[in-house]
Amino acid sequence: MSEENTLTPQRKIGSGFGRDSTAAEVIAGIDLSGRTAIVTGGYSGLGLETVRALTSAGAAVVVPARRPEHAREVLAAAGLTPGTRGGDVSVAGLDLADQDSVKEFAAGFLAGAAPGTPRSLDILINNAAIMASPEQRVGPGWEAQFATNHLGHFALTNLLWPALAAAGKARVVSLSSTGHKLSGIRFDDINFDSGYDKWRAYGQAKTANALFAVQLDALGRNFGVRAFAVHPGGIMTELQRHLPREEMIAAGWMDEHGTVDSRFKTPAQGAATSVWAATAPALDGMGGVYCEDCEIAELTAPGSPDARIRGVDAHAVDREAAARLWQVSAEMTGINAFPG
């Protein structure tokens, strides 16, 4: 079978779910007993609802957190403590902006298996992100949104590759957004050294998240590892913490009284597409596509009335750009599970 015939088309499959579906609804009837998942940012907003859904189906979920004690407090307040919802929840330290922290977390996870038994990881949901933050440099001068949202998850996934491959049938979900429409990958100035724009930087990072899924799926499918990019929808969470209220009012996200626009989803609805991509039997044998509203998204029709808010732009699923970004990311981090 040729490579072209193994690619998943970027078009709807008739999932039976939609924009208003919740994480609990898409996972109903699915048994994840004995499965292990990692959800970055799993103690806030969409991540918390994602963890809630996965544990309700019996999965053991590891939540990496920059502030582990805070994460444990939030999870406990949500009733998500070991063994209380069918699956265990544990927390470990991880700062995605710090490559040494990523390496330490991955090494700790891989070392957690019984002697002589490889650690397996069935689901990895790269959910954590920062959005439209003030200019900040991390590591060797990397722009923080690209470094945190993309390079941190790139390194994490590559370091966890032995566990993903050992699972035999694993899925990796990379959270993108319609923010990808704001910028492609600026290969000539990835770190915005020529001048910072918070929204273009966010857009580049979200395009990177989508392209990451394209290339990981191409590299991993022969090992049983499939990858998906997901747009969760607009949801009011801590992701907006860097945005002034006035800016959100001007964008139409809320009115002057703080009432959120009806176009926004609840966190439970926002988590649904991640959970669907990670667990839906309908996606068996598929991967490398961008999903929204619990469906594989259609390619954006340029110039259409909803081009800014719906569908995936061609630059975010371009296979050549995905392969190039992977190589650039491997060179920047010095980490690559697929050398040569």
Residues with a catalytic annotation lie at 202
How far is Cα 62 from Cα 124, in angstroms, rounded to an integer? 10
Instruction: Return the number of other C-beta atoms located less than 10 Å from residue 209's C-beta.
Output: 26
| Strand positions, DSSP E, 189-262 | 225-231
Rounded to an integer, what distance in angstroms lies between the CA atom of residue 19 and that of residue 248?
22
> Which tokens belong to 14?
């008739």
Distance of CA 206 to the CA centre of its chain: 9
What would the two tokens of residue 330 be?
Answer: 């491997």
> In this structure, what token pair is assigned to residue 116?
């002589």
How far is it, in rounded angstroms, from Cα 53 to Cα 28? 9
Q: Note the Cα 24 to chain centre separation in Å.
A: 19
**Under a CB-based contact definition with an 8 Å cutoff, are residues 307 and 325 in contact?**
no
Q: Residue 222 has which token pair?
A: 């022969």
Closest CA to 93 of 156, 158, 49: 156
- The DSSP element (H or E) to which 89 belongs, if any, is strand 89-93
Q: How far apart are CA 272 and CA 268, in angstroms?
A: 6
Going by C-alpha positions, the residue among 122, 102, 106 that lies closest to residue 172 is 122
